[in-house]
Chain A
Amino acid sequence: MLDVIDLDAYYGLSHILFGVCLRAARGEVVALLGRNGAGKSTTLKAIMGLVPPAAGRVIFRGEDITGKPPHVICRKGIGFVPEDRRIFPDLTVWENLEVGRSVEGNGERRWTAERAFELFPALKELARRRSDSLSGGEQQMLAIARTLMGNPDLLLLDEPSEGLAPLVVRTMAEHILRLKQAGITILLSEQNLHFATRVSDRAYILEKGRIQYEGGMAELSANAEVRRRYLMV
């Protein structure tokens, strides 16, 4: 589904990513772990075209999408949910979903506002509310629902559990597993190892812009040495 090969990225003159390689197969949930500042967000943004990759390639379903503008990448079937959610505060919940709605005529329209509300029933009652009045958990749900409206086959989730109350984190894990059941491939970045363990099949560990570890989620849980070295847990 997704192949990232030797990706390098910069912010201005500072070199952030060094030869990042990762892949996600159809239907998988893959976690990208690492401490704060490791380069997780930058990796996701580089895949999405929000940070221009300086070297390397991003291959999606066999097609080279490196350096394409974000809206083109989105229309090819990659959805991005940013770390800080980036809800449009002046818009209502329903209007936020409308911005994400894909208007491409081709293919069946799998996601509608109704279906998004089925997945996140809490949003349904809030549909007409201005979205800046939403709680953190509701905003995270809205951000995911908004991205789903573009009918993505691959979802990039940047720290979906960040800043949520423990109980809400648990619901979020269930939501993600449900998206997986719906056939969506997911690449998520996380610092919350417990949360990542619940939802992911495989994991990569990123440190200082380099991939340091790759393996199944179960093996990582068993490997205390790696966890201590890279994740401080």
Chain B
Amino acid sequence: MALFIVQLLTGLANAMFLFLVASGLSLIFGVTRIVNFAHGSFYMLAAYLASSLAAALPLGPASFYAAVVLAPLGVALLGGLIEVCLLRRIYRAPELYQVLLTFAVVLVIGDAVKFFWGTENRTGPSPPGLSGSVPILGQLFPTYDLAILLLGPLLALGLWWVLHRTRWGILIRAATSDREMVGALGVNQAWLFTGVFVLGTWLAGLAGALQMPRVALTTVMDSTVIVETFVVVVIGGMGSAFGALLGAVLIGVLQAFGILWLPREFQLAIIFILMAAVLILRPWGLLGRPETESGTAGEALRREVGGRLRPPRWVWAGILLALMVLPSLLPTFYVWVLVEILAFALFAGSLQLLVGTGGMLSFGHAAYFGLGAYGAALLMKQAALPMPVAFLLAPLVAAAAALFFGAFCVRLSGVYFAMLTLAFAQIAFAVVHQWYDFTGGDNGILGVWPAASLAAPVRYYYLALLAAVCGLSALWRVTGSPFGYTLRAARDHPRRCQAVGVNVRSHRLLAFGVAGFFAGLGGAVFAFAKGSVFPDYLSMPMSVQSLVMVLLGGIHALAGAPVGAAVYKLLDIVITKYTGYWQAVLGGILVFLVVAFPHGLVGFVQARWARMRASLG
């Protein structure tokens, strides 16, 4: 009983932090409709900043508390700057651009933290006066956690007061249900957005600063907390601060007891299973509201720009010939680079079918890439199949998973679709990561080498080239087929399609399955090239990488995916040669791309080409 109560209190104390971070994210989403991946980075930054301030301020024991107050303010200021300088430009852009821009901020802040504080884990100072423990029913409970348990409800009350008793709060709540109308009533939305962003960032910063004495500060705090926060916000309802409280308490308590009672395989997956269940049964969350017509925005940029660039056949033949001859001229290292590019071209090309042609923004496409890789490895290692058979069957494993998960996902659209794809990917990741007996857990599976006849680098390269050429041309055929046109029609006018009897869901599901299949093929190519598979093939950063490649090439440009994959990989190689801060450079490139080339590199060339032809008559 005593253990039960102490565990409950621990869960609730954790819930208070989740609540602070999640309410901030939820408010920001409610008003601006931006899924802010950078929210966890502000949390991390505040924790580091607070620990340094606490050490540096000359105020004796009071420095700790001064740091807890000052660090969130500094981070909130930074948030406001980012909103004004970057996010303002993209409120009307499609979700993908918004997500990638906030992700660019994640990358830059992540590297900034590594630059200023190093990559070693740090421990924050202990809170003066609150560092001991108090006995509760014979069990020791940290005094600081007790203080958090008192502070949390006070902060929730304060937030309630701001949202319900101040004009500003009323405007925030109004804008959450219909921001366009708020503008028509004379409110300058730009400042409202900035204000909400600053408030939300401050809440994340406060959580980070308060967390400083409780946990080790690590450079992965940002991604851990953002994923948990997404879960909380989705469960509570996006845009609802009190949904965030409810979601946080549910998740905090569930995690606290999960550690005690659940087998390890489920501990990581349990919260994502809960999230998936909520999204399936009540997509708008426990306390959220269903999206209304007027609440959705950003359809302006769905249009495809520029003329189709249709290079004559000899261009393709030339490229193919170059790809055939190239490996015998290159050093082995670059042959493997090319193989990786081919694997990623399949991965990105399949995602492009979903995002570009289908208008379905997936945050979890790495699941199918990773399942293809694991499928290949497990079929060979556990089922003892010969390598070529494993290679051919692996995409089917991914496609089967995609059809199963997709059946739930295609019932939703927009951000909710994206969140459910993320939930399923996290479930797959958690299972692979924790199921040591079958998947090797985080040790991965080693010795996944191609059959002897294919093992020479150039030979394996030809296999990869064959897979990529077949895969990409199949994907392009699908895009150009009547099925592809229906997908596009369903993307642009879902209701009109429904009205004329098109089954939008089954078309989307089929596209999801096809995309899963080719992502899986890419995963299989990648697995045998690396000789090993690891859980991070399925992880969120991997999913984001594929989105970046698609964006680099241009989401509506057919040739975008391979170009995006190649440019991404080459940038990676070149930049890592000169600096350890590849992520920050990538973040900068992303910002530049989203702001300057929103249609990607190939899209840019296509638009130029169309203009040139028009001017030549």
B-contacting residues of A (Cβ < 8 Å)? 12-13, 48, 50, 69-71, 74-75, 80, 82, 86, 88-91, 95-96, 98-103, 146-147, 150
Contact = CB atoms under 8 A, between A and B. Distances in A.
B173 interface: yes
B122 interface: no
Closest CB pairs A-B (n = 9): A74-B186, A88-B174, A70-B184, A86-B181, A70-B183, A99-B174, A100-B185, A71-B183, A95-B170
Contact of A98 (B170, B181, B188): B170
A100 B186 contact: yes
A88 to B, nearest CB: 4
**B171, B177, B185, B189: most-surrounded residue (chain A CB, <10 A):** B185
Given A88-B177, A95-B170, A75 B183 contact: no
B294 interface: yes
A99 B180 CA distance: 12
Interface in B272-310: 289, 294, 299-300, 303
Given A71-B187, A99-B187, A100-B186, A89 B177 contact: yes
A82 B180 CA distance: 11
A3 B229 CA distance: 51
Interface residues of B, number: 23
Contact of A12 (B173, B184, B303): B303
A13 B302 CA distance: 12
Contacts, number: 64
A91 B184 contact: no
A88 B189 contact: no
Contacts of B178: 86, 88
Contacts of B188: 71
B167 interface: yes
Nearest to A151: B186
Main secondary structure of the interface of B (DSSP, over half): helix
B575 interface: no
Nearest to B167: A98
A71 B181 contact: no
A91 B185 contact: no
A90 B241 CA distance: 13
A86 B174 contact: no
B254 interface: no
A99 B175 CA distance: 10
Nearest to B299: A12
Given A90-B289, A98-B167, A50 B184 contact: yes
A48 B184 contact: yes
10 contacts: A50-B184, A70-B183, A71-B189, A74-B185, A82-B181, A86-B178, A89-B177, A90-B177, A95-B170, A150-B186
Contacts of B510: none
Contacts of B171: 99
A82 B293 CA distance: 14
Given A48-B184, A88-B177, A90-B289, 10 more contacts: A50-B184, A70-B180, A71-B184, A71-B189, A74-B184, A74-B186, A80-B184, A86-B178, A88-B173, A99-B174
Contacts of A74: 183-186
B185 A146 contact: yes
Interface in B168-220: 170-171, 173-174, 176-178, 180-189
A91 B183 contact: no
A89 B292 CA distance: 11
Interface string B488-503: 0000000000000000
Contacts of B289: 89-90
**B167, B170, B189: most-surrounded residue (chain A CB, <10 A):** B170
A146 B185 CA distance: 8
A98 B167 CA distance: 7
Contacts of B303: 12-13
A90 B186 contact: no
**B180, B184, B188: most-surrounded residue (chain A CB, <10 A):** B184
A17 to B, nearest CB: 18
Contacts of A102: 186
**B183, B186, B289: most-surrounded residue (chain A CB, <10 A):** B186
A75 B186 CA distance: 6
A75 B178 CA distance: 19
A204 B125 CA distance: 74
A48 B184 CA distance: 7
A99 B184 contact: no
A99 B183 contact: no
A42 to B, nearest CB: 15
Contacts of B167: 98, 101, 103
B224 to A, nearest CB: 32
A162 to B, nearest CB: 16
B396 to A, nearest CB: 40
B88 to A, nearest CB: 13
A65 to B, nearest CB: 14
A91 B174 contact: yes
**A12, A48, A86, A150: most-surrounded residue (chain B CB, <10 A):** A86
Interface in B417-444: none
